[in-house]
Amino acid sequence: MGAAKFWAVSFIVSLMILVVTRSQIENEYFFFAGYVVLQYVVLATAWNILGGYTGYTNFGTGAFFAVGAYSSVVLQKLSPLPVPAMILVAGLVSGIIGLGMGYLTLRLRGVFFAIATLAMAIVAQTLIVNWDFVGGARGIYIIRPEHAPLFGGYIQYLYSLMLLLAWFSVAIARSIERSRLGIGFNAIRDDEQAAEAAGVPTLRLKLIATTLSGALMGMAGAPLPYYVTYLDPASSFNLSYAVNSVAMPMIGGMTSWVGPIIGAVLLGTIQQVATVTIASELNLLIVGLLLIAFVIVAPNGIVGLVQARRRARGER
């Protein structure tokens, strides 16, 4: 399927999911939970553009996500815009931070880059904690508009936006995967010196990857203040965003755009169910155990398992 066709088909599929869920499901909790799962589809897909395709592990997902959320807070205080516009602004702000992170790749690779992204997240959190305008360490209350644009409740509205954002991220990831850019990213992941010797402008490509990945993460964070209505640094910079956005592509499979979706839907749903039925503290434990299991049993994730089985069948 060509890129243009994929954008069209996936858009229609997303619209159908939107129409069916919004018309058939009455229970508001579904949209609360669905929003979180879709948010993880965006985060995992965004992480995978840098981590899976290009091979740079980013532990700073929480920072990009929170910067997106706080850019909405700033806008809300200065001059409230419609949420879709805030998503775009958040993407711009986090994209610029992503660009900055890209320059780290000049000097840092592998585990050192990963540690630097973690450090960057802590720096960003410290800045927000000490910035009174956005509530500082106390956090800040955001009053939702009384009525959602279009029809239905506000949470249904946020769910719809996140579904479109998920579609947008996945379509971008899929387009990259099958493009000149994607093969360049893969060359960088496999061997940066060899990529450069083959003519790949590695720095420029890495900057594209970090910017794009960061921008999408920030976009996922932009509606958060309206979702939670109370935003504080400790929860918005939570490490669980970083852990989840690493774990989901790893469990789903990092080589294909399908992987992060599978991982996010699977893990996200398990976490939502566990939160309701057992306890919310259990979430990270589940992620941790699943991650260990997959690293041992299926290092290439679910997509890798399926591919291996298909290959084995083909050879027989």
Partner 1 sequence: MTAAEPPLLAATGLAKHFGGFVALEEVDLTVMPGERLGLIGPNGSGKSTLVNCLCGTLRHDSGTIAFDGRRLDGMPAHQRTRLGLARSFQLPKPFRSLNLVDNLSVPLLYTVNARPGARLSAAAIEAGALQLLADVGLADKARRLPRDLTQVEMRKLELVRAVATAPRLLFADEAMAGLSPSEIEEILSVLFRLNEGGITIVLIEHIMRAVMSFSTRLVVLVAGRKVADGPPQEAIRNPEVERAYLGE
Q: Which is nearer to partner 1, 47 or 65 (CB)?
A: 47
Per-position x/- string for 131-150, each x denoting binding to partner 1 as judged by CB under 8 A, each - no binding? --------------------
Per-position x/- string for 152-181, each x denoting binding to partner 1 as judged by CB under 8 A, each - no binding? ----------------------------x-
Q: Which is nearer to partner 1, 55 or 95 (CB)?
A: 55
**Least spacing, CB of residue 307 vs partner 1, in Å:** 12
User: Residues near 290 by Cβ (< 8 Å), separated by ≥ 6?
Assistant: 247, 251, 267, 270
CA distances from 316 to 74, 173, 304, 308, 309 (A): 60, 33, 18, 12, 11
Q: Is residue 154 within 8 Å of residue 28, measured between CB atoms?
A: no
Complete DSSP assignment for 203-243 = HHHHHHHHHHHHHHHHHHHTTHHHHHSEE-HHHHT-HHHHH
Q: Is residue 67 within 8 Å of residue 124, measured between CB atoms?
A: yes
CA distance 216 to 44: 10
**Least spacing, CB of residue 238 vs partner 1, in Å:** 32
Q: Which is nearer to partner 1, 18 or 108 (CB)?
A: 108
State which of positions 179-208 bind partner 1 (CB under 8 A).
180, 183-184, 186-187, 189-191, 193-203
Partner residues linked to 140 by β-bridges: 231
The distance from CA 100 to its chain's CA centroid, rounded to whole angstroms, is 18
**Least spacing, CB of residue 190 vs partner 1, in Å:** 4
Tokens of 167: 């579609």
**Least spacing, CB of residue 87 vs partner 1, in Å:** 33
**Least spacing, CB of residue 104 vs partner 1, in Å:** 18
CB neighbour burial string for 204-233, b if at least 16 within 10 angstroms, e if fewer: ebbbbbbbbbbbbbbbbbbbbbbbeeebbb
**Least spacing, CB of residue 266 vs partner 1, in Å:** 24
State which of positions 105-134 bind partner 1 (CB under 8 A).
none
Q: Which is nearer to partner 1, 161 or 173 (CB)?
A: 173
CA distance 287 to 175: 29
Q: How many residues bind partner 1 (CB under 8 A)?
A: 20
**Least spacing, CB of residue 44 vs partner 1, in Å:** 20
Upper half-sphere CA count for residue 48 (Cβ side, 13 Å): 34
Per-position x/- string for 243-282, each x denoting binding to partner 1 as judged by CB under 8 A, each - no binding? ------------x---------------------------
**Least spacing, CB of residue 200 vs partner 1, in Å:** 5
Q: Which is nearer to partner 1, 138 or 180 (CB)?
A: 180
CA distance 95 to 91: 6
Q: Which is nearer to partner 1, 132 or 190 (CB)?
A: 190
- Write out the residues near partner 1 by the rule CB under 8 A: 180, 183-184, 186-187, 189-191, 193-203, 255
